[in-house]
Amino acid sequence: MKIIGLILFWLAAVAAPAQTNQSWKICRNPVRVFPGQATVDLTPLFQWWARQPLIITNHSSTANTNTDTSLEPEARPLSAWHRVTGVKVGVIGSSWVVDAAIYSSPTVHTNARIILNHPPEAEEQAYYALEMQAAEAKQQIADTQRIYGADTNKESKANKLVQAFEHSRSKLRNDAVRDYSAVAVQEQAAATSALTQKAQLEAARAEIEEKLRTIPAIKGAYQVDWFAVLLGHSKQGVPIYDMGLVSATPP
């Protein structure tokens, strides 16, 4: 029995959606605009969503006959709207085909292939642009670190030569001390500049990574994670959802 229980637990873990540890906000951009300037405000749905438990609980008990109305489920607003998460697998015109998990609540979902109208193209493009910037910053940081190391080594060698000539009786002593001291100063300045540049690059990379954390993605691949409305019709048997146009202006 223990082995069967472990297998069932493992299967449940595999079936669980990958977005459970996301760092981005699920409920974002509540105002949606549709053709004809129809506007929908998802704020009531977002507020309801935030109040829901993340774990399914069973409040019923045969031993408890107390009819506590506080245990009754809260009415869900905007029932045609669902959280849609998943991977883009194709394009039909300006719409996306998505292999999606469709959530009616934080703990209840079904899986289906859908067509998504007004898909988040700008967000997808922003994600991959930021990914490229992060990779470039990482390479530049590594290059700058190598330059800093090389400049530091040159400074160290120049200082050693200064010390060596200071203790020598060479006729070139004074000129050599002067020249190698100048080299040491120059390399120290170059190393300091490289270190400053590295710090700036690391700060820029941190900002890029912070922005990346606000965009849905799993293992370096952009993911759809938006609320969309079920339109009530399909194309070749594939249900059609619509995100609407994201607006920052309240209705």
Measured between alpha carbons, how far is 102 from 224 in angstroms, rounded to an integer? 11
Per-residue confidence (pLDDT) for residue 71, from 0 to 100: 54
pLDDT of residue 249: 59
Q: Does 188 reside within a domain?
A: yes
Q: What is the DSSP letter of 71?
A: G
Alpha helices in the chain (DSSP H): 2-15, 43-51, 121-166, 173-212
pLDDT over 60 (residue 19): no
- Tell me, yes or no, whether 8 lies in a domain: no
Q: Could you give the 3-state DSSP secondary structure of residue 61?
A: coil
* Within-domain flag for 19: no
Task: Give pLDDT, residue 96.
Answer: 98
What does each C-alpha distance from 163 to 157, 181, 182, 217 come to in angstroms?
Answer: 10, 10, 13, 56
Within a domain: 181: yes
> In angstroms, rounded to a whole number, what is the distance separating the alpha carbons of residues 49 and 231?
21
Cα separation values, 167 from 5, 154, 157, 164, 185, Å:
79, 20, 16, 5, 20
Mean pLDDT value across residues 144-156: 96
Q: Are strands 224-235 and 31-34 parallel, antiparallel or unpaired?
A: unpaired
Nearest-angstrom CA–CA distance, 189 and 124: 42
Q: Tell me, yes or no, whether 162 lies in a domain.
A: yes
Task: Residue 145: give the domain boundaries.
Answer: 126-212
Q: Give whole-number Cα distances, 39 to 2, 74, 129, 217, 244, in Å.
A: 53, 25, 30, 28, 9
Chain-centroid distance, C-alpha 165: 57
Structure tokens at 227: 């609320």
Tell me if 110 is assigned to some domain: no
Q: How does pLDDT run across 157-181, given as a tens digit for each residue?
A: 999 999 999 898 888 889 999 999 9
Q: Which of 74-78, 225-229, 233-237 has the highest mean pLDDT?
A: 225-229
98: in domain: no
Percent above pLDDT 90 for the chain: 73
Answer yes or no: is pLDDT of 37 > 70. yes
Confidence band of 13 (pLDDT split at 50, 70, 90): very low
In a domain, 169, yes or no: yes
Q: How many Å apart are CA 249 and CA 239, to the nearest integer?
A: 29
Contact (CB, 8 A) for 165 and 182: no
Q: Tell me the backbone φ, ψ of residue 231, rounded to 5 degrees.
A: -75, -20
Domain count, the chain: 1
CA dist 234 and 212 (Å) reads 33
